[in-house]
Amino acid sequence: MSEDRFLRYEKCNTEIYVCKEYIENSNSINECLDSYVCKENFQLKPYIQKNGFRSITAPNFLPDTADIAASDDLIRIDEVAKVFPSKKYKNEGTEQEALTAVQMALKMKNLHKFEKAQKLFQHALALQPLHPDILNHYGEFLEEKENNIIKADHLYVRALTVSPQHSRALVNRKRTLPVVDELDEQELERIDRKRIELIQLNHNNPSLKRVKKEIYFQHIYHTVAIEGNTMTLSETRTVVETRMSVPGKSVVEHNEILGLESALRYINKTLVNKDKIAVLDILAIHKRVLGHVDPIEAGSFRQNQVFVGEHIPPLASDVVYLMEEFVDWLQSDSMLQLHPVKQAALAHYKLVYIHPFVDGNGRTARLLMNMILMRNGYPPVIIRKQDRSLYYNAIQLANEGDVRPFVRFIAHCTECTLNVYLHAQEYGAKCLMALEQPKKQDYSDIIAI
Ligand SMILES: *[C@@H]1O[C@H](CO)[C@@H](O)[C@H](O)[C@H]1NC(C)=O
């Protein structure tokens, strides 16, 4: 691999724009990057520190180890197959059919028949999912008639990803970008206010201690459940607290829980206050996630090409180099000037993009994300099992060139987790209810992107 190729690979990746063609054909990265100029539009805004929020020393958000009875048994884990949603952008109809549907949609829009118009736009997009004019028209409709600027903005970005010179999409995007940026910033400010509120609570208070413990188990439960582990919350709790086995559940499922817990403790003990994070630290997290016993995969990078749904991660021979670049980037000035939630989300995204391991990439990425949050004085964030498809969908949108929906999703999860800490004592606190009763959908609580 030539150095030149790496440089350009990194250049685009740092700007969080992944070459789409490269995903489709892992050999064509040179041509792809030759044709692509990273755009300023895709860069994330730096974080302006307000009121020295970051300088406040945060308490530890994990429960005391003494509160969780457990030994340090060696464990073994096998990975369950991961299923990424396979959303193909296959044209289901001809361009002519699709454009006819758009014409009808525009007619309906003029006649104020918005529901019909919406259906026709969706139909047109199903026929030609990546047609820039259709994306742009639908975006305009959502912006004007549904007041959904975030989704409209995303559609303009998508139109521009397909057709970078699309003049109407460029104009539209120029208008929506600052509005969407502002909305995203407002959420981060809310998050910071809630974090301050949380820090200022009395952390010796028994009920807050109970909440921390509760969230600790929730965290483990959701992060393994999202990958298909079938243990319930109370079973998860039993496994962690007693190390006893739950009848009817496989050894693998037990080990996933114990491995995750061991990784969390390791992060809390060793990495939260460590000066510089190294590649070895990420391997050490992974080693715990997959268990200490598996000498082949745990704590080592993959040797072969893997395929994750439609995502084709970089070549196995590039992984070591990319991971070294990755940890440098984690600690680079351009990264550190971002809001911690953005840093955490980007680190998560980039790790699953590189996909350095055969198994356990998602869990390691979530732990790494939480390590970054904890290092910055934020509590670890729960990605709920029931938000799995939103989560994978946001990762896919990032692979397609727009990382902001993923960052936004992580911000929503952060806010939701903070709400649980702050309001767990209140009967019916929304995010808590949704954590505890993942089957009962509470639509007012859905973390929409
Ligand atoms: C996390 O770290 C804190 C501070 O060192 C410690 O008191 C606590 O027991 C740890 N909790 C876990 C679960 O590792």
User: Which tokens hold the place of 340?
Assistant: 């911690």
Residue 64 CA: which ligand 1 atom is closest? 9
Residue 68 CA: which ligand 1 atom is closest? 13
Active-site position among 166, 219, 339, 355: 355
pLDDT of residue 302: 86
Residue 216 CA: which ligand 1 atom is closest? 13
- What is the C-alpha to C-alpha distance for residues 154 and 131, in angstroms, rounded to an integer? 14
pLDDT of residue 62: 83
The whole-model pTM stands at: 0.80
CA-based torsion, 421, 426, 430, 433: positive or negative:
positive
CA of 61 to the centre of ligand 1 (A): 8
Answer yes or no: are the C-beta atoms of 358 and 302 closer than 8 Å.
yes
User: Best substitution site from 57, 65, 220 to test ligand 1's pocket, by max atoms within 8 Å of Cβ?
Assistant: 65
CA of 128 to the centre of ligand 1 (A): 53
- What is the C-alpha to C-alpha distance for residues 214 and 421, in angstroms, rounded to an integer? 10
H-state helical runs in 200-318: 206-225, 233-242, 251-266, 279-290
Answer yes or no: 355 catalytic: yes
* Binding-site residue positions for ATP: 308-311, 359-366, 391-392, 399
CA end-to-end span of the chain: 38
Q: Write out the E strands in 272-335.
A: none
| Residue carrying the six token digits 């954590």 | 435
Query: Which contacts of 253-258 are long-range, i.e. CB under 8 A and separated by 24 or more positions?
Result: 253/224, 253/229, 255/75, 255/76, 255/77, 255/78, 255/291, 256/77, 256/80, 256/224, 256/227, 256/229, 256/363, 257/220, 257/224, 257/229, 257/231, 258/73, 258/75, 258/291
- What is the C-alpha to C-alpha distance for residues 184 and 163, in angstroms, rounded to an integer? 25
CA of 67 to the centre of ligand 1 (A): 10
Per-residue pLDDT of the chain (449 residues; tens, 9 = 90+): 333 333 333 444 434 344 444 444 444 445 555 554 444 434 455 555 554 444 556 778 888 877 776 433 322 222 222 222 334 567 788 899 999 999 999 999 999 999 999 999 999 999 988 899 999 999 999 999 888 999 999 899 888 877 878 899 999 988 998 899 899 899 999 999 999 999 888 888 888 888 889 889 999 999 999 988 999 999 999 999 988 888 989 888 999 999 999 999 999 999 998 989 999 999 999 999 987 546 567 778 988 877 777 777 888 888 888 899 899 989 988 788 889 999 999 999 989 988 999 889 999 999 999 999 999 989 999 998 888 888 988 888 887 777 888 999 999 999 988 988 888 656 555 665 555 554 444 444 444 43
CA of 375 to the centre of ligand 1 (A): 13
CA of 55 to the centre of ligand 1 (A): 21
CA 24 centroid distance within chain: 21
CA-nearest residue, atom 10 of ligand 1: 64
| Residue carrying the six token digits 């736009």 | 121
CA-nearest residue, atom 4 of ligand 1: 60
- What is the C-alpha to C-alpha distance for residues 213 and 148, in angstroms, rounded to an integer? 38
CA-nearest residue, atom 13 of ligand 1: 65
Per-residue HEC secondary structure of 172-214 comes to HHHHHHHHHHHHHHHHHHHHHHHHHHHHCCCCCCHHHHHHHHH
CA-nearest residue, atom 12 of ligand 1: 65
Residue 67 CA: which ligand 1 atom is closest? 9
pLDDT of residue 148: 92
CA-nearest residue, atom 5 of ligand 1: 269
CA of 131 to the centre of ligand 1 (A): 52
pLDDT of residue 39: 44
Rg, Å, the chain Cα set: 23
* Binding-site residue positions: 308-311, 359-366, 391-392, 399
pLDDT of residue 72: 36
186 burial type by CB count under 10 A (0-12 exposed, 13-18 middle, 19+ buried): exposed
Residue partners of 229: CB distance under 8 A and separation at least 6: 80, 253, 256, 257
Tell me which residues have their CB closer than 6 angstroms to ligand 1.
60, 62-65, 265, 268-269
